[in-house]
């Protein structure tokens, strides 16, 4: 990794952590796009997991009083199950598949709420959410829009949604790092040094984003999230189709 790319990486980490600090997602989508340009898909997943783990852990800590721990525990059970299934089928990612999976995700944020009868506070729904979102996190790197549909009918406000999602993402990204441990170990010490250097910027971005979050209304929070995720998704979908046809 050149010095210029390393500097760009640090800047992207700060911006994407800020974005996720405000909306609880979207930042991870942008970060993964950058990493897929720099690393092979499996290595990008590993690095993405480390950065997202750092950002989500700091966000969860800053908002820890809003976390619904029972929901997190139930979802974590599903995440472990998803990892086991992907290991069983020996899943291996490639940039085209990852891009298309992410590109299709914005469909979820536009579906009418009345279509869903899902509530993350119900045990069976929380485990299902963990299974589905955990599988998507490991297979495509991110799963924010999918997790959101399980909070549609919950009575959580924006702070509780962001805090609880951050904690389950800590679990999911930790397992993702283990899943791609072989790819992670293939990276050089210098490359991991840049990742370590970027970690404090992930924390700083999260702190700034959390401050902005508290100034948003619930209505603005949901509206902005929808449009930002859609724009990123369209970009990913075009990229995925381009990679498949080339």
Tokens 């869903």 found at: 116
Domain residue ranges of the chain, discontinuous segments joined by +: 3-245
What single string gives the DSSP state of each residue in 162-197?
HHHHHHHHHHHHHHHHHHTHHHHHTS-HHHHHHHHH
- What is the C-alpha separation between 45 and 184, in angstroms, rounded? 9
Residues in the chain with pLDDT values less than 50: none
pLDDT at position 153 is 66
Residue 152's pLDDT is 66
CB atoms within 10 A of CB 106: 21
pLDDT for residue 167: 92
The answer to whether the pTM exceeds 0.75 is: yes
What was the pLDDT predicted at 232? 83
Residue 165 CA to residue 159 CA, distance in Å, equals 10
CA distances to 10, 53, 101, 129 from 140, rounded to whole Å, are 22, 15, 6, 16
pLDDT, position 51: 84
pLDDT of residue 93: 86
Q: What is the pLDDT of residue 71?
A: 92
Given this model, what pLDDT does residue 131 score? 94
Q: Are the CB atoms for 26 and 20 separated by under 8 Å?
A: yes
pLDDT at 85: 94
Rounded to whole angstroms, how far apart are CA atoms 24 and 173? 14
Residue 230's CB: how many other CB atoms inside 10 A? 16
């Amino acid at each position: 990794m050149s010095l210029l790319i390393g500097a760009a990486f640090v800047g992207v980490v700060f911006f994407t952590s800020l974005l996720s600090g405000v909306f609880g997602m979207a930042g991870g989508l942008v970060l993964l796009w950058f990493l897929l340009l720099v690393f092979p898909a499996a290595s990008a997943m590993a690095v993405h997991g480390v950065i997202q783990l750092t950002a989500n852990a700091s966000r969860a800590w800053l908002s820890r009083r809003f976390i619904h721990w029972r929901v997190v525990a139930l979802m974590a059970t599903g995440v472990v199950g998803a990892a086991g299934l992907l290991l069983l089928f020996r899943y291996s990612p490639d940039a085209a598949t990852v891009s298309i999976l992410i590109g299709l995700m914005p469909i979820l944020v536009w579906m009418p709420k009345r279509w869903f009868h899902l509530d993350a506070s119900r045990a069976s729904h929380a485990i299902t959410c963990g299974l589905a979102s955990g599988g998507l996190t490991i297979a495509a790197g991110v799963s924010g829009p999918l997790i959101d549909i399980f909070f549609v009918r919950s009575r959580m406000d924006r702070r509780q949604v962001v805090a609880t999602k951050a904690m389950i993402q800590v679990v999911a990204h930790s397992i993702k790092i283990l899943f791609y441990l072989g790819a992670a170990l293939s990276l050089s010490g210098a490359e991991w040094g840049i990742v370590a250097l970027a970690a404090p910027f992930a924390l700083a971005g999260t702190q700034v984003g959390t401050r902005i979050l508290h100034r948003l209304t619930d209505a603005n929070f949901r509206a902005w999230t929808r449009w930002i995720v859609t724009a990123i998704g369209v970009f990913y979908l075009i990229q995925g189709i381009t990679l498949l046809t080339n």
